[in-house]
Structure 1
């Protein structure tokens, strides 16, 4: 934790981001998934860490980051955003346009929270199905001792 004006402030560390990525890649390899791109963002939506496996297509970064960006921006997993988008497509099209393409409400990203429930960021993956992408994100967050939402 950092200290700001005497108050502890939780923030996602680079070491936590690297742990999330390493564990997500291990889960992907164990399951035999296609090459992945994985993006970890902090609570402000800034890129903390990214990895692209050998053989991953050029779109993996943009897709993984956009899934995570939407999740952290809305404070919920991208699966929930995909469900909401089905019920209110016009809003989500407008939101994606407003976000200049950085917002993708598709399954494959989860928010990252500390033990107190503070939003620390999000992780998104791209390379497999949405369910596969989400599963490796959850494995990564849990391996870092954090909560996936």
Structure 2
């Protein structure tokens, strides 16, 4: 597979938002980025704050640009705050290094893009993102 189709991106978003509703999470917002960091699709649940796009995009963008899942980025930020500050400088402040940013891989391990989910706790955001990725038949790395 060369990338994430719009159809698969829509499945990921629909299932991530569904997972959030089923689990009683706060209203979620979800974005899917391609391997170059470009938006394929975005949706915001009813009741989600309008500013959530930038957070979801930042979570996913960091994954793609660094090739690291959100949890790994957070660990790096905690261990080497200066590194993540420099990275954010390089990328114009667009990286949000916390869980909820999930790498999307094909079955062979190649990075196809990332999903960013926001609205609940970062760990719950990651759970919702993984549910969406799995529903699309791809592999998530949180």
What's the TM-score once normalised by structure 2's chain length?
0.96
Paired position in structure 1 for 2:97 = 105
Q: How many residues align?
A: 141
Shift of 1:131: 0.5
Shift of 1:74: 1.2
CA offset digits 1:107-149 (Å, max 9, x no partner): 1111001111111000011100001100000000000000001
Secondary structure in 1 matching 2:133: helix
User: Do residues 21 (structure 1) and 40 (structure 2) align?
Assistant: no
Match of 2:34 among 42, 47, 50: 42
Structure 1 runs, 4 residues or longer, greater than 2 Å off? none
Shift of 1:58: 2.0
User: What 5-or-longer segments of structure 1 have no aligned partner?
Assistant: 2-9
In the alignment, the residues of structure 2 paired with residue 49 and residue 58 of structure 1 have an alpha-carbon distance, to the nearest angstrom, of: 16
Paired position in structure 2 for 1:79 = 71
Paired position in structure 2 for 1:5 = none
User: Do residues 68 (structure 1) and 60 (structure 2) align?
Assistant: yes
Secondary structure in 2 matching 1:39: strand
Shift of 1:75: 1.3
Q: Which has the larger radius of gyration?
A: 1
Paired position in structure 2 for 1:90 = 82
Paired position in structure 2 for 1:6 = none
Task: Report if the CA contact (8 A) 2:17-2:29 is conserved.
Answer: no
In the alignment, the residues of structure 2 paired with residue 76 and residue 15 of structure 1 have an alpha-carbon distance, to the nearest angstrom, of: 25
